[in-house]
Amino acid sequence: MRESAVRFVGKVLWFIESNFRKDITLDDIADACGVSRFHMCRGFATATGYSIVQYMRGRRLTEAARQLAAGAPSILDVALDAGYGSHEAFTRAFRDCFGLTPETVRDGAVPDQTLLVEPIRMNIAAEKSFSLPEPRKETRGPMTLVGLARRYPYNQVEGIPAQWTAFQAYEGTLGEKPGFWFGVCDGFDEAAGTFRYSCAVEVDDPRDVPAGLDVLKLEPATYLAFTHAGHISGIRNTMDAIWRQYLPGCPFEADGDAPMFELYDEKFDPRTGLGGLEIWIPVKG
């Protein structure tokens, strides 16, 4: 694996920390770091728990909060330094982030410290190493799925196990093909830092779908199927290794227009979280 490929998250962090006060775009960062925009966004979110837009916004507002707490004389100057074009736009963003106005922080109010976004260490990519078996190349689809969908921030996915518990109540009632379950990830929103996760099963005919469930259509696609053999709680390590270690140096380009999914079969035990699963990443070509 090329060193430059393995360390692209560190390069992204360096570029952001050097430029987050400037008007930079996702394309600017991707070009500077030599990686595709889609791959950069997925890999960064998997490695850090933040979307790039979230991280830049959080860093700008955190540094602005520190300037205000130190008694900055001009809120407009702080706003401009943070990349906002007006006092009003800065105040809205600041209040949305901290629940306080810039004026109250300058007057002595203390923001919740858990809301501050501190710099992530730039050697993060060198700190983790995870053994990843070689994936299979598969072509699959079209598929019709019925599932329970919810939207999550990248760094707040703790509700997914409860989502699966809720979906299990429909088992055997949807006319599904037995023995397989899908955890579908799509609807990635970089600005909001969120994605849609659907617990789903495959069906031939999605008639009489219960209220609260959605029908998902997956077009034919080519995938790399990666194995996650350990406990389900370690799936983020496998995801991180896929996006940060394997894909940057492989000959395939991830397809950002197609959903990715986790595939569970009868070997997986939802009670213990053991039995393993596969992670299917759509690729071009």
Question: Distance between CA 135 and CA 224 in Å, rounded?
Answer: 6
Query: Which residues partner with 228 through β-bridges?
Result: 277
Q: Are strands 143-153 and 260-264 parallel, antiparallel or unpaired?
A: unpaired
245: DSSP letter: I
226 vs 192, residue with greater confidence: 226
- The region of weakest confidence among 115-129, 182-196, 230-244 is 115-129
- Sheet of strand 136-140, all strands in order from the earlier edge strand to the far edge: 136-140, 221-228, 277-283, 260-264, 181-189, 194-202, 143-153, 214-218
Average pLDDT value over all residues in the chain: 88
State the pLDDT confidence band at 3, using cuts at 50, 70 and 90. very low
Q: Is the pLDDT of residue 248 over 90?
A: no
Question: Distance between CA 116 and CA 128 in Å, rounded?
Answer: 24
- Return the pLDDT at 142: 95
Gyration radius of the chain's alpha carbons? 21
Whether this model's pTM surpasses 0.85: no
Q: Is the pLDDT of residue 154 over 90?
A: no
Neighbours of 70 (CB within 10 A): 8
Peptide bond into 251 cis (omega under 30): no
Q: What percent of the chain clears pLDDT 70, i.e. is strictly above it?
A: 94
Mean pLDDT on 175-192? 93
Three-state DSSP at 58 gives helix
- Return the pLDDT at 24: 87
- Return the pLDDT at 122: 59
Residue 284 phi, psi dihedral angles, 5° rounding = -85, 145
Q: Helices in the chain by DSSP H: which ranges?
A: 3-6, 8-19, 26-33, 37-48, 52-69, 75-81, 87-98, 102-106, 124-127, 160-167, 235-241
Q: Is the pLDDT of residue 126 over 60?
A: no
State the pLDDT confidence band at 6, using cuts at 50, 70 and 90. very low
- Return the pLDDT at 5: 43
Mean pLDDT on 1-23? 71
- Return the pLDDT at 7: 66
- Return the pLDDT at 128: 57
The residue written with tokens 């995938």 in the block is: 223
